[in-house]
Structure 1
Amino acid sequence: MSNRSETLFAEANEHLVGGVNSAVRAFRAVGGTPVFIQRGEGAWVEDVDGKRYVDYVLSYGPLAIGHAHPAVVAAIAETAASGTSFGAPTEKETALAQLVKSLMPSIERIRMVNSGTEACMSAVRLARGYTGRDRVIKFRGNYHGHVDALLVEAGSGVLTLGIPGSPGVPAAVTETTLTAPFNDLDGVAALFAEYSNDIAAVLVEPVAGNMNCVPARQDFLEGLRKLCDEHGALLVFDEVMSGFRASLGGAQAHYNVMPDLTCLGKVIGGGLPVGALGGRAEIMDYLAPTGPVYQAGTLSGNPLAMASGIATLTELAKPGVHAAAAAWTERLLAGLKARADAAGVPLLTHQAGTMFGVFFTDAPSIERFEQVEQCNAERFVKFFHGMLAEGVYLAPSAFEAGFVSTAHDEAALAHTLDAAERVFASLTV
């Protein structure tokens, strides 16, 4: 462990709650001291002591073309020289909207926001306003940001810290939130049978990324689409993680299942604070100023985030770029599985484009949150620290997906697999 990181973390604890500004960073689930990062380039990050790591966190997903990509750095610098925020329209907002629409098949109209959490919060409000109904269905282990009404049986940091919900969220706020098991269509059908006339929306991660990486089954998403159509509810895809990762057009393009609304996160800003809500024009036009559902944000669509997003998605959309990164991810997982098998370590892997998950289990498949909970958490902790010591940076939680960028190359692959071979061998001692 970096001595300087320990010093900085001790200092941070004097000023920041838990020494961090986002709970999962505190390493509570894995123990030890968080690594303080001072710079990133391509597929690599460097800590404050100068140690380099292959990065599979990538700011929890948005750095789809790697750290400090020259096109992104240039776009941000050029834009910042003209001003960082105006609270007024700019051309870049329309340019990014057009780019997102060209890649996401279901989106006809977009509203830029400032985070994935804000996108999901706005989606729920819009769905309720559009349908005139109150109830929303979500799934166990799916995380949609720290929105009060959606912080029920959630994934991500809530799972990592072992918190079933959160103090400060009144029961009255969540009483209209219904939950069902992920990948369980019968459970959703039962809820519709009981609450049919009061369900505004079904909100789902088509590739769950907050209980590790668990892709939905094809028939599950197709069934959700059918149930929503039959009962007059909206289907909302939370593609904060899977957007432009499960495929260039997101999970909806991969599965060919079109939602009514789509929530997007920081990948559309190349890692800067941004998000978006998009969908069918007739629904989106219910938002103010064209409709009665209020939503606003002073920094929404700010020039820096728009410039970074345009640069990021333009690079990602170049012919063959996303496909090559997805193929690299497949090679990574095949290499990890082969080395785990050779060491006698039970390992299951999942992939959705450039998202991935590793599960320490001998189960033949994982489709639900309850199965993720049954994986060997102690073995993950040992694997995490072993890989960290070898210069491979993974999320400090067994409930977080991993990510690959277009910058991950042969050197990064060799470094990772060599490290994994040594670490897997140590797990059997």
Structure 2
Amino acid sequence: MKHTEALYLEVSCQNEEPCLPLHTSITLFLLSYCECKSFKVFLVFTKPESSQSLKSRLPEGLDVSHIQREDLPLLVRGCRLPAALDESGMLCKAGLAVVLRHIINNTLEADPSRKDVLALLGFKKTCLKACAEVSKWTRLCEIGIPSAVEEHLKDPTNQSEQLPLSILTLERRLPAPVKVHNDDKIRRQKLQEQRRNEKNESPAGNSNSESEPVQPPQVGDELELRAALAKLSVDSVPTATTRESCEIRKVKTPHLPLLQHVFAEGLYFTLTDVVLLPCIHQYLCSLQAHAVSLLHQIPHLLRWYSRVQEVPGVLRAAKACGIAFCTPQVPTSSAPGPSAESNPPSLLDQEEDQEKTKQPPFIGGPRPTMTKLKVKNYNLLLIPHQENGIEAIYAPHPCPGWTLPWDSLPEAINPTEAELDTSQTSSCVIIF
């Protein structure tokens, strides 16, 4: 096979032995899951070392070579690995999420029938599309959790009986109800299964009225898991459409049972789960060996870890990358972890609070940067100002008599009307 692109993956050193950083392990795991062989993979070493110890962690069939950091192409040398360089040597894609999405797109170009690979991109193909600088979720998955796990693995025996904030954030996200596109049908199927189970358990039936809210199920979320796995099936055959009973169709949408998280993004297995799996795997194995009492604090993460192993292709990809899934054993004698109320706020909550306190809501009037300018009839009469030896001289407005017919324009564009929230003010520009 002719390789059109080169993929550069970092190799680090621990105790004088080469090892794979999490970003490299994640990339190799995705290559194995997608069975993508369109890249020539270069393992980047910082000093001459033998890679024999890494052989068991490299998927078979990959074209793998070694390269020293000083021998990297100039364009790649200035990027944070992993990075993909096209055959022209003029286009470099760098950063974990960008490279992973690029691998998926290359796999689909080579084999458009890979429905399971396409599903990794999520709804409207937006999974981890926003960069870490603007998306808290991407930053948590791409940087926060891998960094926290690698920091833990440096000294796994030094435990303060407290979870890293990024791990705690993920644990708190998993039990939250989710909403997916056009989920009304799945929620009605879930309600129908609940009522069928209730009738089987109680022959007398259930007297709940259709107008009463339905309580969440107490026995797992088998329906959500079946729906998620069906979406990933490569050879899935459409099942016969069965319409819900009249009793179920009459239930209003707000009274339908909510869908529960099955995977990290919600109902379906996506690229986010691929990113998290090598990280959480190493973290859980370390806790099992050095701090088993902390497992009580992450029941939803343990459940997620078990679910992802049921996804077709995951066990195969893990075996090819030398990942041997463990079965964490939560000791029954230990006391359960602290409740969510006693834990510190999660990473996403903290960032939201910081953003709220960082900038007060804009309620109209000139921006702080305009406080030194005199505003009259919406025409700026600019006054020279000198500071630190720098003097700005402004010319008068060329047409100071211009005005706008505000009465005949929509109120939405009038700067004196209503009030803008923080998300609007950063992109709101009024041109006079």
Same fold, TM exceeding 0.5? no
Larger RCO, structure (CA 8 Å, separation 6 or more): 1
User: Quick check: which has more Rg, 1 or 2?
Assistant: 2
Which band: TM-score by shorter chain?
A: under 0.3
TM-score (norm 2): 0.23
TM-score (norm 1): 0.23
